[in-house]
């Protein structure tokens, strides 16, 4: 009786764990961590507020940044981002010719906290060539995925200090895509 029971259990185990028909089983794609993805985007600073003034985009000048970066994903929930953002500023002072110039280069690394449904939170450190430094909390959402590219947008709140200027906080919109 014991022998028949152990043979039955052995048969059930083998039947459920081994593919007896020789057909391949469906593979669930599980990423091998860590892995790296690159991205490109553009960022528009909507507003900057300090103790002396509130500056709106398009008010006196227009600035657009072009962030590029690498994200290193260590798990389904965590990664690290390295981002560099050159900025270009266009302005036309009253009665003068329009000008454009490279106005800043920002290095802003930070951890990526990944959540369900494509939401991410990225608290970045910020180091600017203008002599400013600070933090930038970023709220990110992937809104479309394809085989080759993920499309996303971010809202960020840059807080900046230093370079003999008043502390400031801003509001930015960033739109970009990540290469899969």
Which residue ranges in the chain fall short of pLDDT 50? 15-24, 26
Assign a CATH topology to domain 26-179: Porin (2.40.160)
Task: Identify whether the C-beta of residue 125 lies closer than 8 Å to the C-beta of residue 135.
Answer: yes
Q: Where are the alpha helices (DSSP H) in the chain?
A: 2-17
Task: Identify whether the C-beta of residue 150 lies closer than 8 Å to the C-beta of residue 142.
Answer: yes
Report the pLDDT value the prediction gives residue 2, as an integer from 0 to 100: 56
Separation CA 43–CA 69 (nearest Å): 13
Report the pLDDT value the prediction gives residue 59, as an integer from 0 to 100: 79
H or E segment to which residue 155 belongs: strand 149-156
Separation CA 101–CA 129 (nearest Å): 14
Report the pLDDT value the prediction gives residue 5, as an integer from 0 to 100: 53
35-71 pLDDT, tens digit per residue, is: 999 999 999 999 999 999 999 988 778 999 999 999 9
Report the pLDDT value the prediction gives residue 10, as an integer from 0 to 100: 54
Extents of the domains making up the chain: 26-179
Cis peptide before 34 (omega within 30 of 0): yes
């Amino acid at each position: 009786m014991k022998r028949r029971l152990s043979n039955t259990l052995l048969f059930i185990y083998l039947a459920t764990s081994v593919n007896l028909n020789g057909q391949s089983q469906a593979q669930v794609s599980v990423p091998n961590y860590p892995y790296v993805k690159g991205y490109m985007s553009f960022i528009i600073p909507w507003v900057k507020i300090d103790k002396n003034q509130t500056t709106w985009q398009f008010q006196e000048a227009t600035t657009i940044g072009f962030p590029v970066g690498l994200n290193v994903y260590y798990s389904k929930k965590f990664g690290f981002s390295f981002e560099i953002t050159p900025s270009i500023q266009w302005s036309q002072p009253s009665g003068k010719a329009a000008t454009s110039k490279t106005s800043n280069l920002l290095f802003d690394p930070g951890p990526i906290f990944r959540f369900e449904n494509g939401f991410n939170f990225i608290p970045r450190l910020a180091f600017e060539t203008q002599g400013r430094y600070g933090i930038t909390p970023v709220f990110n959402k992937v809104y479309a995925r394809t085989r080759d590219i993920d499309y996303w947008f971010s809202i960020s709140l840059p807080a900046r200090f230093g370079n003999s200027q008043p502390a400031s906080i801003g509001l930015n919109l960033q739109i970009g895509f990540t290469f899969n």
